Amino acid sequence: MKVREKDILLGLSMLALVACSSDSEEVVRANDDVTPVNQPKEDELPEEELPVENPYDEILYDESLPYDQIPVLATIASGKTWVFQPEPSDDFNYTFEETDGRVDFGPNNKWYNFYHDLWDGPGTTYWKYDHVSVDGNDLVIRSSRRVIGNESEPRFNLPPKMNLPDQGVSTGSITGNNRVQWPVFVEAKVSVADMSLASDVWLLSADNKQEIDIIECWGGDENGNQLFSNVIHLAHHSFVRPPDFQDYQPRDLGIFYRRDGVSSWGEFHYNGGDRKYTHVGVNWISPIHLEYYIDGRIVRALYDKAVATKRGNEWTYGYPTMSNGVVVDTDSSTGFQALVEHSTSSSYSFDKLKAASDVSEVSIIDPYNYQDGGGMGTEKDIIINVESQTWQAAAGRIPTNAELEDPEKNTMKVDWIRVFKPM
């Protein structure tokens, strides 16, 4: 499979550019008009280098238990226990009908049916109030083709995004009314849409400067999206907001999670109409310590100045470097961020991760100090949404009308989301 190396890097740089604050009543669309302008040489993405998880022989979750009673499998300090936090958690075992207006919903008004700012989405996304519902079992976020002159609220009466009037995607976003703060474990049971749109569960600070992605997945393999449909993106962002916009995120190969036997997460979850789900979680231990979990197993960890990634049955520990004040961002053999390999192990070891961090001189969390030493420390909103992202739309990876009209494939579903604190 041939892809443009620089297009991949642009894609990585554009991932999750979906937080944009506004102090006015006008919608703000940062970076919506960014498109690839270079014509780089074609190169082959080194898929053999991407972390690959082996299929599981053992299912770790007892789904017969209520979601708040399923044991938490994340790392916890000695002497602590996980305590369920009911306010930001939800099993979605109720009904909420689509409505063409911004409303709170859920037990004790846990959510509202829009993004946390006056912004209706990146790329060719148009978040709509009436594309969110709860069907008694799942949160359901559906997508459809935006039709100018016949669209639901909100309508901002601005020119078509990216000058693509016929390629707009109406979809949904929800935001929690209860913020979360470290130390905390947030986990969701998710079935992504079987389209090239991004299905997302993420955490975002109120000032839009700190983001932690729990899952970002472009599920469908149509429209040239084969390359990205078989990965789950696990990353965080440290932003400087306009007018001097900056976005740091780790760009090593470990940000992409793959599982052997899954060629498309959308097809895997669609499962011929009998939807499957994947458990995704982040253990936000401190401002400089993050662990990512999939189906109860740790697959990636970051601590201060180093990162640990699982490849098959081996863990690799490494750290970034800088040259002339800039993170060394390209490994010539892969096109991704270069890391110095420190050590390996057959099982995850925080001691090895800390040892790698101790010899490193560059933060993996916020190397440019955009957060003034605070790392990922600010409390955050829980956001669940679907997006037609700028970098995907610029590459033509937008669902067709037929795909958007398929009620089985055009929905992201969340069975539950749960939050625990170590106490």
Q: Are strands 256-259 and 52-53 parallel, antiparallel or unpaired?
A: parallel
Alpha-helical segments (H) within 91-248: 226-229
The predicted structure's pLDDT at residue 296: 95
Contact partners, residue 212, CB within 8 Å, separation at least 6: 202, 203, 236, 282, 284, 290, 376, 380
For the record, the structure tokens of 19 come out as 């937080």
- Options 3.20.20.100, 3.40.30.10, 2.60.120.200, 3.30.360.10; CATH of 3-422: 2.60.120.200
151 part of the active site: no
Only one residue has tokens 């991949």, namely 8
> What gap in Å lies between CA 302 and CA 290, rounded to an integer?
5
> What gap in Å lies between CA 103 and CA 75, rounded to an integer?
36
Counting Cβ atoms within 10 Å, is residue 35 exposed (0-12), middle (13-18) or buried (19+)? middle
Mark the ranges of the chain whose per-residue pLDDT is less than 50.
Answer: 1-46
For the record, the structure tokens of 161 come out as 């995004």
Counting Cβ atoms within 10 Å, is residue 135 exposed (0-12), middle (13-18) or buried (19+)? middle
The predicted structure's pLDDT at residue 408: 85
Alpha-helical segments (H) within 46-194: none
216 part of the active site: yes
44-59 pLDDT, tens digit per residue, is 344 555 667 666 667 7
Catalytic residue among 211, 222, 267, 403: 211
Task: Look up residue 28 and give its amino acid.
Answer: V
Domain boundaries, the chain: 3-422
Task: Look up residue 208 and give its amino acid.
Answer: N
Catalytic residue among 187, 216, 222, 267: 216
> What gap in Å lies between CA 96 and CA 78, rounded to an integer?
41
14-33 pLDDT, tens digit per residue, is 443 333 333 222 333 333 33
> What gap in Å lies between CA 311 and CA 406, rounded to an integer?
35
Give how far Cα 232 sits from Cα of 71, 186, 313, Å: 24, 17, 18
Helix (H) or strand (E) holding 139: strand 139-142
